Amino acid sequence: MRLHRLSGDMGILAGAFVLLWFAPSFASDYALQISFRVMIYLTLAESWNLLTGSVGLVSLGTASFVGLGSYVAFGLANHFGAPIPVILVVCALAGAVLAALVSPALFRLRGVYFTVGTLALAALLQLLMVNLPTFGGASGIFLKHDPPPLASLYHDALSVALVASLAMAICARTRISVIIRAVRDDEDAAAQMGVRPYRVKLAAFALASALIAMAGAVQAINLGAIEPYGAFGLQWTIDALSMVIIGGIGWRLGPLAGVLFVVMLGEMLANYPEAHIAITGVILIVLIRFAPGGIVGMFARLFTRSTRLSSP
Amino acid sequence: MNAAAAPLLEVTGLVKRYGGVVAIDHVDLQLWAGTITGVIGPNGAGKSTLIGMIGGAVTPSAGHIRLGGRDISRLPASERARAGIGRTYQIPRPFLDMTVAENLEVAQYSMAPLIGAGPARSARIELLQLTGLLDVAGVPARALPLLKRKRLEVARALALKPRVLLLDEVGAGLIDSEITELITLIQAVADASVAIIIVEHVLRVVRACCARSMVLNFGKKLIEGPTAEILAHDEVASVYLGTGGARQSAPAAPKDEAAPPPRDPGSLSQLIAPRSSAASRPPLLELQGICAGYGQARVLKGIDLQVHEGEAIAILGANGAGKTTLARTITGAINPTAGTLRIAGNDAAGRPAHDIAGLGIAHCMEGRRIFPTLSVRDNLLVAARRVDRATAQQRLAAVYELFPILAERAAQGGTSLSGGQQQMLAIGRALMARPRLVIFDEVSLGLAPIIMDRLYEALATLKAAGMTLVIIEQDVDRALALADKVYVLEHGIFGLAGDPRDIADDPRLRHIYIGTAD
Amino acid sequence: MPDFGTVASAILSGLLLGGMMGLIALGLSIVLGVMRLVNLAHGVFLVMGAYAGLYFLKLTGFDPLLALPLLALGIAALALPLYRYLLAPLAQRGPEAQLMTMFAVAIILQNLFVFVFSADTRSIERSYATLPLSLGAITVPLIYVIGFAIAVALILAIHGLIAHTGFGRDLRASAADPAAAATLGVNVQRVQMLTFALGTACAGVGGVLIGVAFQFSPSSGGAYLLNSLAIVVLGGLGNVPGTLAGGMILGLLQSLGGLTLGDGYRDIVGMALFLLVLVFRPEGFLAARRA
């Protein structure tokens, strides 16, 4: 039964991937840019949903790993001329390693301290990049070679989003999901069942960080130039969490719904960046208070009774 | 039992201290595979702390725990589970949003992540059948009633394939027929390769399942041996029903003798609100059809109660009967779901806790709830609301007169006191509000008899001075000696009510507390 | 190698500035202690205080430091509706809902400031702010000394309030065990509301001091928020003198960091310290010493 659901997910993802792969042949440049952004955001949102919705770790550190991916990607491209698949693999590793390195600090205390620690980590990395001349300082670095054409980068972003969605499908549809939910619901009771909560949280944090770093890499190469205030900017963190809260935290389709909403809102308010962020903030406050399930949660409540029955 | 073989689980010199309180005091325990051992003792004796230390949820202050010769004292709970220790929680803690089957999967997949889906499923079905949960396998744990949640606790622990199984109060809060089912279940899971510990308040379970038992009292092992002998022991009965040694058929003495004369009525009057003067006054506290609970768990199922000024009411009942929930409902910590609650004629249902305190109801809370970051003096002063400094000082002096030790320790941190002193502080703090009625919730819990004497002497003094009291107690004899009227809670309703002398003689009381001798 | 005067001046400046940081951190600390809320809008409240000081000066011509009590009251008054309408309804929903709500408030206010005041860097210009105060080879800006004196006086006043008044007793009881405090008659919601207002006022007053002594912009809040967190961890939650000490230690380390590594490293010191303390002394957060 559970594997059926997993293969169902896989089928849908494969179908969507194939369809979207051919988008560049008929979509306009503008539509392709938007689709590219959707793929990047979807990766960020899926990762944040895994951490916060599934494992219960509220992260304000998305920007750390976007920035990490950006800088590692530029280093590899400029110094070693590495091809994009290699860059993505190395960035994923770098994200996981950074997550593992900071986890002793961040997991020492439960609850909100993880949140605050991730926020501090992003600020620390940003300031380090500003001050270290090796990494271009405040003015940042340029890509030495011309970036690949948008269509090719779009395929990279689509692949990263596919990997993220597959990883989330596996986390949600296999036996891993019961372990993750057990840790979120009652860490102590889970430990009494033999689950090692620290390892589960670390694995989720490392996986989410690897995915975010890959998205950061593709995003940075598309830009052609990076600087610390953008690459490590709080904006990435705000985007990731607002997309998931708006879409529906903990819901499988929440990230996708949130990404589409936020990208649409962003396009409408493209000329008023301050208003865009402020309106996002207002939406967040209203949703947290009145609709903690976000868009998907509201629809689910309207149209179905949630029946999550499974066979023994 | 093969005494020659090495024990499967060996506990030596186990100690747990919380601040000034010793919860477990040098306990030794040996378990062999294939045995079921009962651990009994009154509330607060340290039973759950012992289970917590063996299971890894509580870190011992001293001592060792060895499983099959391996020292596991310092391992985290997850590693103990993997080493073969399964436990249940006294208050079930299923993963509420998961189905019953998924709850078992957590244990299965954490122990054997790569186990085939087929074998896992058949193992699950076998466990669910054994625990009588097969028909609810697909139901979210949140929807289960208490008995099924308790069964799920057992099933989940068994899914670990444990070598040692710790069952913590699985019988609490269940009705007789459910307990019979439970006994059948425990007997069914017993196995030559598993050692089981049953910590239990419902003695029927212990009697039916355990060949040997030990009695814990004040954190110490009082006695250990064959269960039948243990339960026949006089000392054990006194531990359960009261501290007066051999049990008498009626309260020890006429009430006016039991109460020492008030030392100084003038100073005590600082702590007792004056009576209202109206000729036809409503009862001070009146409950009609009160229902309350936590989430979907209904604990109180229609409570009627009247307390008039100057009365002393005792509310008795076994663990999990709803005594503390009743106290919390009266004081506004939880809102009733039905029924009316009146305090001196004012509708008080749904009012916030601080409002109810303002109406003159004080609650000396179970577990004392001393503020650790406040001095003894500040702990007391918190409860003196809306009074000038001079009045607060007078009340403080009156509390110090009642419990002189508090004056000596006035500047110390609240939790640096011993358990008995903390309880005096909690009582004194309730009085600082100069309340019209005080609810004393399990004041004797886990305290030595001499301290209990001292506390009950103080309660008797207060009663003699005209205070209205509601005493929630597990120590039956003491409560019966003090009360004018007794109510016995059973499964959320008053199963028994009346004059303390009649209740003391009523065989049903003994039945409710320690079960029938079937 | 810089000479003695430079080093000594930097150390003293760091300590004085750290005292001001201690006041700001104290506001965060009491809210965290009583409400279990890391107020992510604390830095933005600080910036709000700075703008309030700036416009108070522009509109009235009076020195904002002389009107500090008035400005503090005004900012505290703004905190009351935020508590009443945004935080109190979420009280039963776990700490995350309140945390995210204050994060949203922070991004709203920050962008509102950009919209209203522009993103430009500003400062509250007072003639005495630039005066040096010299003692032998040691020179520190006069405003540092004034700011330190005000901050320490306020920290001591708050310490007195928490340690020696009835409200302080209620505050400590509510922080330790809100349910027990309510049962004893403490109106915990009211205590939380007043604590939130007091914490916000600390940020606001700190903002006025920072505004006179330094420059600020709508985005200045983040660094102050994170530095305050580092101080709270260093000093121990609920420990008022410890918070002052933590502030001065951080200020000192920042000065030394700036002196040896370059000015850009000042803020890095705070955040690195925060993460390091989390690794090695996490109980710093929880050590609930008697205030």
Residue indicated by tokens 């509109």:
C59
Interstrand relation of B164-168 and B62-67 (parallel, antiparallel or unpaired)? unpaired
- B277 interface with C at CB cutoff 8 Å: no
Identify whether A175 is part of a domain: yes
CB-count exposure of residue C125 (10 Å: 0-12, 13-18, 19+): exposed
Q: Is the pLDDT of residue B2 over 60?
A: no
Q: Where are the domains of chain B?
A: 9-241, 261-270+283-514
H or E segment to which residue A158 belongs: helix A150-173
Reported confidence tier of residue A18, pLDDT bands at 50, 70, 90:
confident
Tens digit of pLDDT for each residue in C51-104? 999 999 999 999 999 999 999 999 999 999 999 999 999 988 878 899 999 999
Smallest Cβ–Cβ distance between A274 and the set C36, C93, C115 belongs to C115
- B381 interface with C at CB cutoff 8 Å: yes
* Of C191, C192, C291, nearest in space to C235 by CA: C291
Identify whether C49 is part of a domain: yes
> Please, which chains are in contact with B (at least 3 CB pairs closer than 8 A)?
A, C
3-state secondary structure of A105: helix
With CA atoms as reference, the chain B residue closest to A178 would be B106
> Please, which chains are in contact with C (at least 3 CB pairs closer than 8 A)?
A, B
- B353 interface with C at CB cutoff 8 Å: yes
The token pair at C51 is 């703008």
Cβ(C28)–Cβ(C158) under 8 Å?
no
With CA atoms as reference, the chain B residue closest to C287 would be B373
Selected for mutation to probe chain A from C90, C278, C279, C281 (highest A CB count within 10 Å) is: C278
Chain B positions in Cβ-Cβ contact with residue A190 (cut-off 8 Å): 78, 95, 106, 110
Identify whether C271 is part of a domain: yes
**pLDDT reported for residue C136:** 84
**pLDDT reported for residue B92:** 87
Given CATH 3.40.50.300, say whether it is the number of domain B261-270+283-514.
yes
| Residues of chain A contacting B, Cβ within 8 Å | 2-3, 175, 178-179, 181-182, 185-186, 188-197, 308-312
Q: What is the DSSP letter of A233?
A: -
CATH number at residue C221: 1.10.3470
The token pair at B440 is 């004393």
Chain B positions in Cβ-Cβ contact with residue C29 (cut-off 8 Å): none
Cβ(A196)–Cβ(B78) under 8 Å?
yes
Cite the DSSP H helix spans in A224-309: 228-231, 234-247, 254-268, 273-290, 294-303
Selected for mutation to probe chain C from A101, A116, A121, A134 (highest C CB count within 10 Å) is: A116
- B98 interface with A at CB cutoff 8 Å: yes
> Please, which chains are in contact with A (at least 3 CB pairs closer than 8 A)?
B, C
Q: What is the DSSP letter of B134?
A: G
Rounded CA separation B212/B233 (Å): 14
- B378 interface with C at CB cutoff 8 Å: yes
Q: How many CB atoms lie within 10 A of CB C78?
A: 15
CA distance C262 to chain B (A): 42
The token pair at C281 is 């002394």
The domain in which residue C282 lies consists of 4-286
Residue indicated by tokens 């003198």:
C241
Chain B positions in Cβ-Cβ contact with residue C189 (cut-off 8 Å): 352
**Range with lowest mean pLDDT among A193-197, B313-317, C18-22, C285-289:** C285-289
**pLDDT reported for residue B451:** 81
Rounded CA separation C232/C240 (Å): 10
* Angle at alpha carbon of residue B80, lines to B28 and B30, rounded to 5°: 20
Output the CA torsion sign for A12, A15, A18, A21. negative
Output the CA torsion sign for C204, C205, C206, C208. positive
Rounded CA separation B113/A64 (Å): 32
Smallest Cβ–Cβ distance between A179 and the set B82, B87, B106 belongs to B106
**Range with lowest mean pLDDT among A181-195, B161-175, C241-255:** B161-175
C222:A277 CB<8 A: no
With CA atoms as reference, the chain B residue closest to C239 would be B373
A196:B78 CB<8 A: yes
Please list the pLDDT of chain C residue by residue as tens digits (291 residues): 578 888 899 999 999 999 999 999 999 999 999 998 999 999 999 999 999 999 999 999 999 999 999 999 999 999 999 999 999 999 888 788 999 999 999 999 999 999 999 999 999 988 888 888 888 888 999 999 999 999 999 999 999 999 999 999 999 999 999 999 999 999 999 999 999 999 999 999 999 999 999 999 999 999 899 899 889 888 887 889 999 999 999 999 999 988 888 888 888 888 888 888 877 766 554 444 333
Q: Which residues contact A107 (CB under 8 A, 6 or more apart)?
A: A114, A198, A201, A202
**pLDDT reported for residue A287:** 94
- B119 interface with A at CB cutoff 8 Å: no
Tens digit of pLDDT for each residue in B108-148? 999 998 888 999 999 999 999 988 899 999 999 988 877 88
CB-count exposure of residue B450 (10 Å: 0-12, 13-18, 19+): exposed
Rounded CA separation A237/A125 (Å): 14
Interstrand relation of B212-217 and B36-40 (parallel, antiparallel or unpaired)? parallel
The token pair at A101 is 């390195």
The total number of structural domains in chain C stands at 1
CA distance A203 to chain B (A): 14
* Of B378, B399, B382, B380, nearest in space to B462 by CA: B399
Given CATH 3.40.50.300, say whether it is the number of domain B9-241.
yes
Average pLDDT over residues A168-183: 91
A191:B99 CB<8 A: no
Chain C positions in Cβ-Cβ contact with residue A109 (cut-off 8 Å): 278, 282, 285-286
Cβ(C19)–Cβ(C148) under 8 Å?
yes
Torsion region of B469: left, alpha or beta (phi above 0 gives left; psi -120 to 50 gives alpha): beta
B331:C188 CB<8 A: no
Q: How many CB atoms lie within 10 A of CB B232?
A: 10
Please state, in angstroms and as integers, the Cα–Cα distance from residue B271 to each residue in B277, B278, B384, C164, following that order: 18, 21, 10, 24
CB-count exposure of residue B302 (10 Å: 0-12, 13-18, 19+): middle
The token pair at C251 is 């200020």
The token pair at A232 is 């490590």
- B365 interface with C at CB cutoff 8 Å: yes
C104:A111 CB<8 A: no
Smallest Cβ–Cβ distance between B382 and the set C173, C289, C291 belongs to C173
Q: Is the pLDDT of residue B513 over 70?
A: no
CA distance C160 to chain B (A): 14
C101:A278 CB<8 A: no
Q: Which residues contact B380 (CB under 8 A, 6 or more apart)?
A: B395, B396, B399, B406, B425, B428, B429, B432
Rounded CA separation C227/C255 (Å): 13
Identify whether A240 is part of a domain: no
Identify whether C291 is part of a domain: no
The total number of structural domains in chain A stands at 1
Identify whether C111 is part of a domain: yes
3-state helix, strand, coil in chain A (%, to 5): 80, 0, 20
Strand-pair partners of B440: B364, B471
* Of B192, B344, B325, B224, nearest in space to B273 by CA: B344
The domain in which residue A146 lies consists of 2-233
Smallest Cβ–Cβ distance between B121 and the set A192, A193, A312 belongs to A312
**pLDDT reported for residue C5:** 86
3-state helix, strand, coil in chain B (%, to 5): 40, 25, 40
Identify whether C274 is part of a domain: yes
Rounded CA separation B171/B206 (Å): 10
With CA atoms as reference, the chain A residue closest to B111 would be A194
CB pairs under 8 A between B and C: 73
Torsion region of C151: left, alpha or beta (phi above 0 gives left; psi -120 to 50 gives alpha): alpha
Buried b or exposed e, range B159-197, using 16+ CB within 10 angstroms: bbbbbbbbbbbbbbbbeeebbeebbebbeebeeeebbbb
Rounded CA separation C95/A288 (Å): 12
Tens digit of pLDDT for each residue in B67-114? 998 999 999 999 999 999 999 988 889 999 899 999 999 999 999 988
A175:B140 CB<8 A: no
**pLDDT reported for residue C96:** 84
Reported confidence tier of residue A306, pLDDT bands at 50, 70, 90:
very low
Interstrand relation of A225-226 and B70-71 (parallel, antiparallel or unpaired)? unpaired
Average pLDDT over residues B42-57: 85
Rounded CA separation A104/A98 (Å): 11
- Residue A161 identity: A
C107:A117 CB<8 A: no
C181:B371 CB<8 A: yes
H or E segment to which residue C10 belongs: helix C4-35
Cβ(B315)–Cβ(B471) under 8 Å?
yes
